Every structure is written in C-alpha cells, then in structure tokens.
Structure 1
Amino acid sequence: MDLALFDLDNTLIAGDSDFEWAQFLINKGILDRELYEARNIEFYEKYKAGTLDIDVFLDFQLQPLARYPRSVLDAWHQEFMSRHIRPIVSQKARLLVREHLDRGALCAVVTATNSFVTAATIREFGIAHLIATIPAQENGQFTGRPRGTPSFREGKVIRVDAWLEAMGLWWSSFERSWFYSDSQNDLPLLSRVSNPVAVDPDQALLMHAEAAGWPVISLLD
C-alpha cells in the first residue's frame, strides 16, 4: 500500500482558504474591515515568507468562531464554499487525487488551516482523512483556541505520526509515500516522505526542490 498526503492551500486549491475565510467574513461585514483586513494580509505575507508565528495567527483566526452559534457559522460556510472554494478547485488537482485513490493509496489532506474551514473542501476530493489544526469546542461551541498540536511546519510531522499510529501503521507500512505542497513551511513533512513533490512552489521551496532533484509540477488549470 502507498501513502499519499496533500497540502490544501495553493496546492489542491488555487488560493489560501484561511485568508479567504477571513476576507469572506470581512466582506460580509461580520468582521470589521479596518481592524481585520490589514492583519489578515500581514499574516498571509508572513506565512509565505516562512516567518509566521502560528500561535499569534491562530488567536486571530479562531477567535471569530467563538462569537457565533455553530448553526450560523455552518450557514456562512456553505456560502463560503460556493463562492470562494469550489471555483478554485482545479480539474488537475481532482485528477491527481483520483489517481492515488484508484491505485488504493491511503490518502489524507495535511493542512495548517483549521478543520472547520477545510473539512467540506476535502470532501470535494473524496478524501476521507483530514489532518488539520483543530479548533477547541465546549458544549458544541468553538472556544476560540486550538486543541493539541497545530498542523503547521514540524507539527504536521507530529500529527501525521500520531494519525498513522492510531491506525496501527507507521512509515515503514508503506512501499511509497508522497507529499504534495507549495510551501517552504512544509519542508519538514516533504523531507519525511519517499516522494516529495513541489506544486506551484514558492521561491524558497522551488530552490530547495531543484537542488534536491524533487519533481516540480503545476495543478493550475
């Protein structure tokens, strides 16, 4: 059996769902534009530069979830999927995932974006497993804090290790393993698999991939 892992933002989708979710809330008037838009852009630029403080960012990103009932958030998210996410899912990405699924690979999306934002997106691809940052909940409501290790940089390796162990598996259980990503932030997990693939990579990842002889592909239609 093979293992196929996929980053989500700017990899399987042609955009960043964390950034788009905040912009969606800003454009609906749910979040104050003056207070939130500049910070949202700043965090996104830091992520791309590889300098993001994940704890500070999660405080920014998860706090709005704690202010509204889950039913309201779910309704907003359906609109968000329709307007912002489905239009940026490429056919090339769908075909890549389908190729791995059809070959019987164990597939998962491994993303730093929280599971509330991303769970519906991975269902678009028919992928059963999601390894994402988990928003903590109490009595069915989000608390505005993360639970456990954020799925970011080295945290992705920690979370994948725990996921495999929970199923009685380990890296040696697989003949081959893939991870597809666009970001230098994912070098720890890219370096763990037997088949790392850079997808429409940022400049730092492109340089690393070329030096290491990793494949570089595009999933943009």
Structure 2
Amino acid sequence: MAARTKKVTVGIDPDSHVPGWAAAELAPTTPVAPDPTSAAFFDIDNTMMQGASIYWFARGLASRKYFTTTDLARFAWRQLRFRLSAKENATDMSEAKEAALAFVAGWKVADVQRLAEEIFDELMEPRIWAGTRALAQQHLEAGTRVWLVSAAPVEIGRVIAARLGLTGAIGTVAEIVDGAYTGRLVGDLMHGPAKAEAVVGLAGAEGLDLAHCVAYSDSANDMPMLTAVGRAVAVNPDSVLLREARQRGWEVRDFRTGRKAVKIAVPSTAAAGIVAGAVTAGLAARRRRLSK
C-alpha cells in the first residue's frame, strides 16, 4: 500500500469544540493494517520529555535576557519543592491559572511561535526520551495518529508535535485577539479531568473509538485520561501511578536509570504554573527596569 501523506493546517481550529486542539503536518507513513478509529495520546512532561516543557521554555527566555538567572533559580527551587511534595490543591491550581494568564498577556503569537521553535531546537529536543519517541514512531508507522496532551501552552505542544512529526497537540489555550494574547484563557488549564474531556471531545470530532486508543503518562494526575481509553501505559511513572499500573495490569515503561527512576517524583501541573508565574514576575521586573 502506498504511503499516505496528509497536510493539515497548523493552528487552533476555530470551529473545533475540543479545547487546545492544534494540528501539525502528518508525517508520511506506511500503514500496516491501520485502524482509522485508533489514536495514541502522549503526555509531554516527564513522559515524552525529561522535565517540564514550560521550564525549558523559561530557560530559553532567560538565555535571551527576557528575565534574570536569579528569577530562573527561584522558580526552579519552587518546582523542586513541588516535585518532592507532589501536592496540588485548589489554591495551587488557581495560582497556576493566574500565572498562565499573566504570562502571555500582550505577547504576539508570531513571537511566541518563533521563540518556541528556537528553544525546542536548543534545549528541548536533546531531552526527548528516545524510548518514548520510538513508541510514538511505532504508532505512526502502523498508521495510527499520535497526539500530545499537556497542560503546557498549546503553542509549545504544537511545536513539539511538528518537530517530532506527530499528528498534533492538545494543550492549555490562551485567547488571541488581533494576533496577540489577551491574558485570558480559553477554557481552563489542560490538567487532570480536563485532559480526559479533551481526548473524548477529540475522539468525537475525529471519529475515534476510545476503546481502540492508547494513552501514555508518567503521572497519577492523568488517571482520568488513562482510564478513558482502551489501553494505558505508565511511562517513567511516579510512585502512585506505578502502584495503580501494577494493580490494573497496565504496561510500564521506564526510560530512567537506577535509583533515580524510583525516587524522583514528577513535577505537578501546579509546579508548571509556578514556573509560569516566576517567568511572569521576571518579565514584569524586566519591564520595570526598562521603563526607568
């Protein structure tokens, strides 16, 4: 059977009811008995990539003098605190949402796209787990669509998907007016139950059968998404997800090594929000310095 190549416009589909929907060009594939109703959904942070994508984006901004290395060290410490405590509550999530709102306000979409592409090539691509990327490639070669699903801004997810030749990305969406971000979110943070709802919505829009789909994640926070599909795989799992996976008989893939694989907890979505908040604080301080 001849390889199939499908071109899809990169961007947020204005007619889609799926929050955070953004498509990338589909990579050419040679399907082997493809199932058009199946898809694979991959979390990004610590599943597809080592660490939090928003953190590496922040590192790239720091290297470009958008804020200081002191700001970066401050929110890196906060992220570590959340790694160790693995706690999320309503207050954390509210702070994360407010941080996301403040972070993008006034930015031009084209500038974020350019920076995300540059920073992916510099800092993110070397941290893509080779094993997870291989799993995604296997799905593509079997004619299965592959989507990233992350609490990270959909623009970052879209860049990662495009660079890896995946189908597209679902992520947190910021409102855009006249080519710039307003500082308001479209919907809520793509976290926990919101991920499952988005996957279900995408399945309806794309004609997928969730029983034929598979999801990959490192975090127990993604249990709603993992249980919404027919097959779940724990990748580099935190302790809670590892326990759940063993109880449910799910496949476990761990691409970390040694004691590190057992003891390091994953950063929570709230931690990513704290990162965004620290970036926001750094950008605000930079604006104040420039205005003097």
CA-to-partner distance for each residue in 1:68-122, whole Å, 9 max, x for gaps?
3334333322331122111112332222111111112232111111112221101
Q: Does 36-45 or 123-132 show the bigger shift? A: 36-45
- Opposite residue 57 of structure 1, the aligned amino acid is A
Whether the 8 Å contact between 1:8 and 1:111 is mirrored in structure 2 is: yes
Number of residue pairs matched? Answer: 218
Gaps of 5+ in 2: 1-34, 258-292
Mapping for residues 2-151 of structure 1, pairs under 5 Å: 2-31=38-67, 37-39=73-75, 41-42=77-78, 45-46=81-82, 49-51=86-88, 53-151=92-190
Contact 2:106/2:180, CA 8 A, preserved across alignment? no
Alpha-carbon contact 2:220-2:241 (below 8 Å) kept? yes
Structure 1 residues 25 and 116: CA distance shift in structure 2, 3 A = same
Q: Quick check: 140-149 or 17-26, which moved more?
A: 17-26
Considering only CA atoms, is the larger Rg found in Structure 1 or Structure 2?
Answer: 2
* Contact 1:198–1:205 (Cα < 8 Å) also in 2: yes
- Pair 152,19 (structure 1): closer, same or farther in 2 beyond 3 Å: same
The two structures have a TM-score, normalised by structure 2, of: 0.66
Bigger Cα displacement from structure 2, 118-127 vs 49-58: 49-58
Partner Cα separation in structure 1 for residue 138 and residue 44 of structure 2: 17
* Cα distance in structure 2, aligned partners of 1:46 and 1:147: 26
CA distance in 1, matches of 2:74, 2:96: 13
Unmatched 5+ residue regions in structure 1? none
Partner SS for 2:228: coil
Q: Does 1:162 pair with 2:185?
A: no
SS at match of 1:205: helix
Query: CA RMSD for the aligned pairs?
Result: 2.5
How many angstroms apart in 1 are the aligned matches of 2:156 and 2:190? 14
Contact 1:4–1:106 (CA under 8 A) maintained in structure 2: yes
Distance in 2, Cα, partners of 1:93 & 1:214: 16
Identity of aligned residues (%): 26
Is 2:195 the partner of 1:195? no
